Amino acid sequence: MRTKKEIEYLLKAIDAFQRRLIVLSPDYEILAANIPIDELPDMETKGNFCYQYFYDRSSPCENCAVMAVKETLSPSLCPKPGSYIIGGHMPCFYAYPIVNGDRVEAYVSMDFQLPSVGMLEEKLRHTNSLLENLLLSAVDCVIAADMKGSIFLFNASAENVFGHSKEEAKNSINVRDIYPGDGARQVMKLLRSDDFGGKGRLTTYRTNALTKSGEEIPISLNASVVYEEGKEVATVGFFHDLRDRLRIQKELEDTQVQLLQAEKMASLGKLAAGVAHQINNPLGGITLFAKLMLEEYTLEKGAEEDLHRILRDAERARNTVKELLEFTRQTRHLMQPNNINEALTRTLFLLENQTLFQNIKLQKEFQPDLPPVSSDAQQLYHLMMNIILNAAQAMDGNGILHIKTHYLEKQDRVCIVISDTGPGIPEKALPHIFEPFFTTKDEGKGTGLGLSLAYNIVESHGGRMSAKNNPEKGASFIIELPSATNSQKGDERE
């Protein structure tokens, strides 16, 4: 039971309520109001039914909140009869029953100002467009589709990466088309499993996507299923294009390999230089004394032949030492602007008449007006000679030798490509061919110094060299040397 004080406060609270609050009998008679009945003006002339008193009507209003409560027996909210929206607000009534046992004794009706539906719609529209803008301008590609795969959201990044316009994506392709093979099915399978970020979610999944031009691009995918009342209604995917990241990673790896290679060459070079000097002196002695013996003694034929053999082998050893010294840059070089086409022509002139080249067809594809390369002419011949000789030896004197020169404008470099139609470089040997003493030739036939020397020459000229096998037949050696103006710029920078 409420105390007198509580009842007093409740009445005061109802009276202080800013809006009108009235209690009605089941037939709409005004029983009480937060304005005392006797203070309501002219109750007698206006009649004491609410529809008479407030609306001058002879029957209850059609959309009366109390009427709705009578029908449903639960609280109801209805717009005020004849009301119109003022300042974005809609006047309406809220009504509820006062129940006594299982009988409705009376109804309470109070009026309210609710924000209008139009205003709610406007707010909703604003929030929606804000969300849509966020998705559309996201850096990652955002693609959403219904469960049949029809795309309904395709943001600007997706247009850029996939090459479809928003309209094309929505009208002419299915979300399955942006994955190669049965990639879409695989993604859906993973999305529905618990193991990749929870059911209905897939996080940082590395896969490939298909662009409009048919190119497969590596992507990282975050996707989720959108549920409504427990039912799958859509899927949304955030695609991150991995091409740039993978390219940078590859460049870093390549640079690392090149650095390692350069370091290895440098330390081997020092070692080789030391050995070369030590061998040179006894070699001088061997040659000198063998020659003396030949000149000063009358020898048996067999002994004379042996001495000639000693001299030949000593000569070969001296040549190897010379190459070793060249390899370690122990000789002085004269750097001058040289024309690569001319240097190649001179090298070929020396080689062409040798028997090894008799059955080799030479194809020259020289770009005229090549910019000069700041280089040591002697070293250039050495470099070209080694690669061309290797090609002729690989073809066993029979095949096509193709030599191409061209200017790489963007990098300001001159490029030489020397290709042959030999058996190509065995895959296993490919990573080692530039290493000193690596050879696949029979003992005594090759020192394995040719390409490492060539590599060193190219490097000391600020260039690059690589080798690859041709798709059809044979191998190609690609040499890039900075043009004279380019290396000058480099020197200035240093």
Ligand X SMILES: Nc1ncnc2c1ncn2[C@@H]1O[C@H](COP(=O)(O)OP(=O)(O)OP(=O)(O)O)[C@@H](O)[C@H]1O
The alpha carbon dihedral of 47, 49, 55, 61 has a sign of negative
Write out the two tokens for 158.
Answer: 């997706």
User: Packing angle between helix 377-394 and helix 340-352, nearest 10 degrees?
Assistant: 50
Give the range of 40-48, 258-266, 358-366, 444-452 binding ligand X by CB under 6 A.
444-452
Contacts of 468 by beta carbon, 8 Å cutoff, 6+ apart: 475, 476, 478
Q: Does 429 bind ligand X (CB under 6 A)?
A: yes
Whether the CA torsion 79, 83, 84, 87 is positive or negative: it is negative
Whole-angstrom Cα distance, residue 462 to residue 484? 11
Residue 99: phi, psi to the nearest 5?
-100, 140
Task: Tell me the C-alpha distance between 403 and 439, whole Å.
Answer: 23
| Residue 52: contacted member of Mg ion, ligand X, none (CB under 5 to 8 Å, by partner type) | none
Q: What's the min distance (Å) between Cβ of 314 and ligand X?
A: 18
173 binds, among ligand X, Mg ion, none (CB under 5 to 8 A by kind): none
Q: Which of 125, 441, 468, 489 binds ligand X (CB under 6 A)?
A: 441
With binding defined as CB under 6 A, does residue 391 bind ligand X?
A: yes
Minimum distance of ligand X from residue 417's CB (angstroms): 12
Q: Say which entry of Mg ion, ligand X, none residue 287 contacts (CB below 5 to 8 A, set by partner kind).
A: none
Instruction: Name the binder of 417 from Mg ion, ligand X, none, CB < 5-8 A by kind.
Output: none
Among 433, 457, 458, 479, binds ligand X (CB under 6 A): 433
Specify the residue, 221 or 394, whose C-beta has the smaller distance to ligand X. 394
CB of 279 to Mg ion, least distance (A): 20
* Residue that has been written with the tokens 């191409």 in this structure: 404
Which residue, 207 or 456, is less far from Mg ion as judged by CB?
456
Q: Which is nearer to Mg ion, 197 or 446 (CB)?
A: 446
Helices (H), 17-114: 43-46, 50-55, 65-72
> Strands (DSSP E) along 15-88, which ranges?
21-24, 30-33, 76-79
| Closer CB to Mg ion, 306 or 396, in the complex | 396
Residues in 446-485 at the binding interface with ligand X, rule: CB under 6 A: 446-452, 475
User: What phi and psi, each to the nearest 5 degrees, are found at residue 220?
Assistant: -115, 125
Question: With CB under 6 A, what is the number of residues at the site for ligand X?
Answer: 22
Is residue 450 within the footprint of Mg ion (CB under 5 A)? Answer: yes
For residue 362, the tally of other CB atoms under 10 A from its CB is 13
Q: Which does 142 bind (CB under 5 to 8 A by kind): Mg ion, ligand X, none?
A: none
- For position 436 contacting Mg ion by CB under 5 A, the verdict is no
Give CA 347 to chain center in angstroms: 45
Q: What is the closest distance, in whole angstroms, from the C-beta atom of residue 440 to ligand X in the complex?
A: 3
**Interacting stretch for ligand X, rule CB under 6 A, among 6-14, 148-156, 165-173, 387-395?**
387-395
With respect to ligand X, which residue has the nearer C-beta, 464 or 473?
473
Report the length, in residues, of the chain: 494
Q: Collect all residues with Cβ–Cβ distance below 8 Å to 36 and sequence separation of at least 6.
A: none
Residues 111, 113: Cα–Cα separation, whole Å: 7
Interface positions, 396-425, toward ligand X (CB under 6 A): 420, 422, 424-425
- Determine the Cα–Cα distance for residues 428 and 331; give it in Å rounded to an integer: 33
The minimum distance between CB 476 and Mg ion, in angstroms, equals 16
Binding site for ligand X (CB under 6 A): 386, 390-391, 394, 420, 422, 424-425, 429, 433, 438-441, 446-452, 475
Residues making contact with Mg ion (CB under 5 A): 390, 450
